[in-house]
Amino acid sequence: MLDWLNAVLDWLNGNGAALSSFAAIVTAVVAVWALIAAVRDSHERSRPVVVAEFRLAAHNDEAFDLVVRNVGQSIARDVTVTFAPEIEAREDDARDLTSYLVERYADPISAIGPGQELTNVWWSGVARGEDTLVNSERTPEEVTVSIGYKGSSGRKFAQRTPRRCSMA
């Protein structure tokens, strides 16, 4: 009855070195795979993440700001911000807040650090009647903000955010 157990033990004694080598190889492969996954996870957690959002303006309950900010853990480089529909600059020499917004995002921004934010007035209410505010800026009520940027490794990232801004 113990013959099968003796056979197994004999086989293990004869092939123990091969089994140990196989186990060591499997362990090494699993360890390398876990290390690669940990490095990838670390890179993903420490990368820049640039987002666009509308925020009620500070000290003014009749205006919204467009806020472009880096909520990630590292510097975002070569940041481009575009709008659909496109926002046009004024043709004349008159300057308004929308002109500053167009000018700010006309060229790529070299860097936005972690926690840094860029703020521009997007919607500024002007009273029309008793209970109605209309936007005095030349910005649309609905817009898609597209943001492109690079991380420190040169890897490119993109965000596309449809947003609606209205006091209604």
**Domain assignment of residue 158, given as a range:** 50-164
Strands 109-112 and 156-164: unpaired
Min mean pLDDT across 12-16, 31-35, 105-109, 123-127 is at 12-16
Per residue in 25-61, is it b (16+ CB within 10 Å) or e — as a string?
eeeeeeeeeeeeeeeeeeeeeebbbbebebeebeeee
Q: Are residues 41 and 61 in the same domain?
A: no
**For range 4-10, the mean pLDDT:** 77
Distances from the Cα of 89 to the Cα of 66, 105, 123, 161, angstroms: 17, 11, 16, 22
Burial bucket for residue 147 (CB in 10 Å: 0-12, 13-18, 19+):
buried
User: Residue 49 and residue 161: Cα distance in Å, rounded?
Assistant: 13
Residue 167 has pLDDT above 60, yes or no: no
pTM above 0.85, yes or no: no
Q: Residues 32, 106: one domain?
A: no
**Residue 148 has what pLDDT?**
95
- The tens digit of pLDDT for each residue in 19-50 reads 788 888 888 888 888 887 777 766 666 789 99
Write down the pLDDT at residue 165: 63
Asked whether residue 79 falls in the same domain as residue 157, the answer is yes
Whether 93 and 142 map to the same domain: the answer is yes
Q: Are residues 83 and 135 in the same domain?
A: yes
Instruction: Decide if pLDDT at 166 tops 60.
Output: no
Query: Which residues, 6+ apart, have CB-to-CB distance to 165 below 8 Å?
Result: 54, 64, 122, 123, 139, 141, 142, 143
Q: 16 and 81 in one domain?
A: no
Tell me: do 54 and 39 sit in the same domain.
no
Residues 61 and 27 in one domain: no
Query: In this structure, are 28 and 89 located in the same domain?
Result: no
Using one digit for the tens of pLDDT, what is the confidence trace for 44-83? 667 899 999 999 888 887 888 999 999 999 999 999 999 9
Q: How many domains does the chain have?
A: 2
Enumerate residues 6+ apart whose C-beta is below 8 A from 82: 105, 145, 146
Pair (29, 110) in one structural domain:
no
> Does the pLDDT of residue 124 top 80, yes or no?
yes
**Pairwise CA distance, residues 158 & 86, whole Å:** 18
> Residue 23, Cα to own-chain centre: how many angstroms?
42
Domain boundary among 45, 62, 78: 45
Q: CA-based diameter of the chain, in Å? A: 102
Domain identity same for 160 and 80: yes
